[in-house]
Amino acid sequence: MLTKHLAQVLDTLNMKALLIWAVLLNFYKLLKTGDCTSKHDQVLSIQVTTHQQADIMRNISSQYETVLWSPASPEHIGADTEVHLFVPANNLGTVTDLLHTHHLTHQVLLDNTEELIEMQTRNESADPRSSTSYYERYHSLGDIYYWINKTAQEHSDMVKVILIGSSYEKRPLYVLKLSGRQERAEKRAMWIDCGIHAREWISPAFCLWFVQYSLNFYNQNNDITEMLNSMDIYVLPVMNPDGYKYTWTTNRMWRKNRSSSKESNCVGTDLNRNFDANWCTKGASNRPCDEIYCGQFPESEPEAEAVANFLRSHKNSVKLYLSIHSYGQMLLFPYSCSNEEVPNHAELFELAQEAAMKIRRHYRNNYKYGASAKTIYLAPGGSDDWAYNLGIHYSFTFELEDRGRYGFLLPPSFISKACNEALLAVKSIARRGASNRPCDEIYCGQFPESEPEAEAVANFLRRPQRLGLLESSHEAKAPRSSKLPQEKHCGSPGFSIFVTLILAVAAFTVSFMRHSASAFGFAFDAALDVLSSIIVVWRYSNAAAVHSAHREYISCAILGVVFILSSLCILGKAIHDLATKLLPEVDDFLFSVSIVSGVVCVILSVFKFMLGRVLTSRALITDGFNSLVGGVMGFSILISAEVFKHDPEVWYLDGSIGVLIGLIILAYGVKLLVDMVPRVRQTRNYERFE
């Protein structure tokens, strides 16, 4: 006995020692990474204030083996520039010493970029518990080609694949053409390209996100449906496949394409300096080793040439050009290549402003906007300027998230937010840009959130991107997650579940005490309500799930089954009561219970209907219907008891209402199943592609 105790005490002591040891070890690590002798590659943020410092910074970034993240080229470094510089571990000491001697203050933006990179390339699909969808991960070039094929096959009615050319290393350049099922004469078109710059991984991720969202929500969501019915959308997911591949295999920081020539040992041309818009003037470089090398002549690069050829041959239909880049959070429009204002500057400014405002309102995120030359830097040869001069007078370049916190190494957990906010901007610009007049018959999508009250409710629901039920394991894996903006957990679905649960218990008690068919039906329905609320919480459990048509359909199908089951119970009980000629007993207690539950259920149902309408979610509307039925049942008890009091002949009202409601629920459940089962089958491959 004593020895056992002793052993226990010793064990605890051991544990304590171990704990202290571990704490000390971590402390040591912390101290070590705090100074500049990190063994890891880092990204530094350096504040340049004087012209002298700018000179020094330009020298450092060009003479040492570093990669300039921001600005794109040393020549854009001036006094008052915040420079983001990637420094490999072996150069870190030298570079930071230089910074110190020249009184350049710096901050470590990212330590251990290797780990971040590893996190981005990890194939999570192997983990079945992973709750992230295909679209919340980054994908290799091979995966993306596979996805293009698969998407076109599964949506052959809406998607066509067009081969517009090939890259320098002879990889195909595929464009997805999305069109609604409505034929309209003289259709306008929108062009979106992603992945001009290899290291900007969020850009191709956005193109994939955009395509899946459009296909899933066609005929589900008014603005997407209108957008696709009124115009064809050409999506080039990866404009620079060679460079993109290179960032996966060799150098994550690569920007240009992979072309080479005999004149130089350096590889790559900046595709966004290779277009014929003041080509290779100030803001581009004619040195092949530079990051903003403009190439040998305009459209010398096969990737730029292919895009230019395609747009030239479609310039009558394409009214809107969008090019997706990162990072910096900006909505830019021409010109980049000159300080001149374009003729419709005011209109483009307004469009960008409105889009930025929506992002701020919906996602609490700030995007800068304006003409490129004044907003970032003077840069000639860009695709947006060229497209503008071709006659596409709605031409934009988006710089997606973030503003430098992770830069090009934006963790996968940020993909959904970055894409959703950009999608909002695309929808906003497309709605007005597609027609010259603010609102004409060709396209004036009636946006579901035009009513401010509805929008406020939607924001409320959208804000907590993870409601907690499916809290994903990968969030824990993400480093520095403590510094991520914390999303508040939303108590409202939980509250709804709690309230209905109490009502259900109360109603069950009442129904057995008072032998009321309606009370029994109500009780069952309240229980059902709890279940359906849980299903709806699951449906919206994370940002990607919000856009998952598959989840929507599964939720509805499960609700259908639940509806059928409960309708059978309600019918059974009601018919039994009618057959045995059960008389409703009446007293104050019964009255108050029915009033309270009826009112609560009706309020809940109104709330759910409103949300469901705003989010165009059938699952939510169904859930609202469910609550409404609960409310009706509550009042039914009240009414039938009241009627019975005045006219004892009418004893069957409660039972009859029970039968009626049972039949309605049954019909609704069957309809849900009939509608949803084929759709669940259709969409089941969406989220697990590989």
Interface with ligand 9B3 by CB under 6 A: which residues? 72, 197, 272, 325, 332, 336, 372, 376, 379, 381-382, 384-385, 397
Per CB under 5 A, does 299 bind Zn ion?
A: no
Per CB under 5 A, does 431 bind Zn ion?
A: no
- Stretch of 306-314, 324-332, 409-417, 566-574 contacting Zn ion, by CB under 5 A: 324-332
Per CB under 5 A, does 325 bind Zn ion?
A: yes
Question: At 122, which helix (H) or strand (E)?
Answer: none
- Write down the least CB distance from residue 674 to ligand 9B3, Å: 50
Closest to ligand 9B3 by CB, 72 or 604? 72
Closest to ligand 9B3 by CB, 66 or 336? 336
What's the CA gap between 222 and 433, in Å, rounded?
Answer: 17
| Catalytic member of 303, 399, 401, 687 | 399
Per CB under 5 A, does 291 bind Zn ion?
A: no
**Distances 440 to 222, 425, 431, 479, 609 between C-alpha atoms, Å:** 16, 20, 11, 49, 30
Question: Of these partners, Zn ion, ligand 9B3, none, which one is at the site of residue 464 (CB under 5 to 8 Å by kind)?
Answer: none
Q: Is the sign of the CA dihedral 489, 490, 496, 502 positive or negative?
A: positive
**Distances 360 to 367, 420, 438, 461 between C-alpha atoms, Å:** 8, 12, 22, 16
Binding mask 448-467 for Zn ion (x = CB under 5 A): -x------------------
- If 0-12 CB within 10 Å is exposed, 13-18 middle and 19+ buried, where does residue 40 land? middle
Question: Of these partners, ligand 9B3, Zn ion, none, which one is at the site of residue 72 (CB under 5 to 8 Å by kind)?
Answer: ligand 9B3
Closest to ligand 9B3 by CB, 299 or 384? 384
Among 171, 197, 319, 432, binds Zn ion (CB under 5 A): 197
Closest to ligand 9B3 by CB, 222 or 285? 285
Question: Of these partners, ligand 9B3, Zn ion, none, which one is at the site of residue 666 (CB under 5 to 8 Å by kind)?
Answer: none
Beta bridge partners of 108: 44
Closest to ligand 9B3 by CB, 72 or 116? 72
What are the φ/ψ torsions at residue 108 (nearest 5 degrees)? -85, 110
- Write down the least CB distance from residue 194 to ligand 9B3, Å: 12
Interface size with Zn ion, residues (CB under 5 A): 3
Active site residue 154: no
Question: Of these partners, Zn ion, ligand 9B3, none, which one is at the site of residue 384 (CB under 5 to 8 Å by kind)?
Answer: ligand 9B3
Closest to Zn ion by CB, 397 or 472? 397
Question: Of these partners, ligand 9B3, Zn ion, none, which one is at the site of residue 385 (CB under 5 to 8 Å by kind)?
Answer: ligand 9B3
- Write down the least CB distance from residue 196 to Zn ion, Å: 6
Inter-axis angle of helices 492-514 and 517-539, nearest 10:
160
**Distances 328 to 70, 71, 324, 355, 583 between C-alpha atoms, Å:** 9, 10, 12, 16, 72
Per CB under 5 A, does 256 bind Zn ion?
A: no
The pairing of strands 231-236 and 172-178 is: antiparallel
What's the CA gap between 382 and 334, in Å, rounded?
Answer: 9
Asked if residues 522 and 665 have their Cβ atoms less than 8 Å apart, the reply is no
Closest to ligand 9B3 by CB, 399 or 654? 399
Question: Of these partners, Zn ion, ligand 9B3, none, which one is at the site of residue 449 (CB under 5 to 8 Å by kind)?
Answer: Zn ion
**Distances 448 to 105, 261, 462, 615 between C-alpha atoms, Å:** 49, 53, 15, 8
- Write down the least CB distance from residue 397 to ligand 9B3, Å: 4
What's the CA gap between 512 and 514, in Å, rounded?
Answer: 6
Question: Of these partners, ligand 9B3, Zn ion, none, which one is at the site of residue 379 (CB under 5 to 8 Å by kind)?
Answer: ligand 9B3
The pairing of strands 67-70 and 81-87 is: antiparallel
Asked if residues 85 and 61 have their Cβ atoms less than 8 Å apart, the reply is yes
Asked if residues 276 and 141 have their Cβ atoms less than 8 Å apart, the reply is no
- Residues tagged active-site: 399
Residues that bind Zn ion (CB under 5 A): 197, 325, 449
